């Protein structure tokens, strides 16, 4: 492998770690091993509370990041119905509760059909979306009100994989295009059910040709790296 010339790899990002934190750790291990500061970037952020496929590009492959970000992604997610939070996930505590007595598995399956195709979606205000040059989440944390405009996003597939009527939880699998926020999807599903919903779990299972089954285990990245045959295009030139 030639990390200077450029490699595209994928790691399984751990829970409660930012994408930048995961990338910084990989950069540190690569740079220590290779003896120079490795240029590295990621192709699509994952929220700290999400796990799964994080595609990393090194060296000259960083030029491909923009194109890689357009690739289709697949997620599995669990929604808690009947309540909402400010961030649409577990990062914030419940701020409103709603009736759920009317919700059935059949109703959830019917509602999910509304979200297939090109849809209008307002991103979460607790996100990295920029508002006049500032990150939306930074404005929210500073106590400011933020209004974001809807964006057109694409959902190719959405299916209900599990439903617990007693706990009012729903697990879904989503195949979608660039810029789709699964947290916003959870919020909108809750509203479409005349209730509320927020994410309790999110895992990116595929990103383009990478799937979670063939990702590098983040906690064992050093062992993976030690097993690779390393080349350096600069040393050979």
Q: What is the dihedral of CA 183, 184, 185, 188, to 10 degrees?
A: 130
Q: Determine the 3-state secondary structure of 76 from DSSP.
A: strand
- Which amino acids are annotated catalytic? 47
CA distance linking residue 176 with residue 136, whole number of Å:
23
The b-or-e profile of 41-78 (16+ CB within 10 A means b, else e) is bbbbbbbbbbbbbbbbbbbebbeebeebbebbbbbbbb
* Residue the block writes with tokens 């990245």: 221
Of 25, 22, 43, 31, the closest CA to residue 3 belongs to 31
CA distance linking residue 114 with residue 88, whole number of Å:
19
């Amino acid at each position: 492998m030639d990390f200077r010339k450029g490699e595209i790899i994928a790691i399984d990002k751990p829970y409660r770690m930012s994408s930048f934190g995961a990338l910084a750790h990989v950069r540190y291990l690569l740079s220590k091993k290779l003896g120079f500061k490795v240029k590295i970037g990621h192709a699509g952020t994952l929220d700290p509370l999400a796990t799964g496929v994080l595609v990393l590009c090194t060296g000259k492959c960083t030029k491909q990041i923009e194109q890689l970000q357009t690739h289709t992604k697949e997620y599995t997610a669990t929604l808690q119905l009947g309540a909402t939070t400010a961030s649409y996930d577990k990062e914030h505590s419940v701020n409103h509760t709603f009736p759920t007595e009317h919700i059935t598995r059949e109703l959830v399956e019917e509602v999910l059909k509304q979200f297939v195709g090109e849809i209008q979606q307002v991103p979460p205000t607790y996100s990295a979306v920029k508002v006049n040059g500032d990150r939306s989440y930074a404005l929210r944390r500073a106590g400011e009100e933020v209004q974001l405009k809807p964006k057109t996003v694409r959902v190719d597939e959405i299916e209900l994989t599990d439903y617990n009527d007693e706990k009012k939880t729903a697990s879904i699998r989503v195949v979608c295009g660039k810029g789709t926020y699964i947290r916003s999807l959870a919020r909108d599903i809750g509203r479409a059910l005349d209730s509320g919903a927020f994410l309790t779990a999110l895992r990116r299972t595929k990103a383009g040709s990478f799937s979670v089954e063939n990702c590098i285990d983040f906690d064992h990245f050093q062992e993976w790296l030690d097993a690779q045959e390393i080349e350096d295009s600069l040393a050979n030139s």
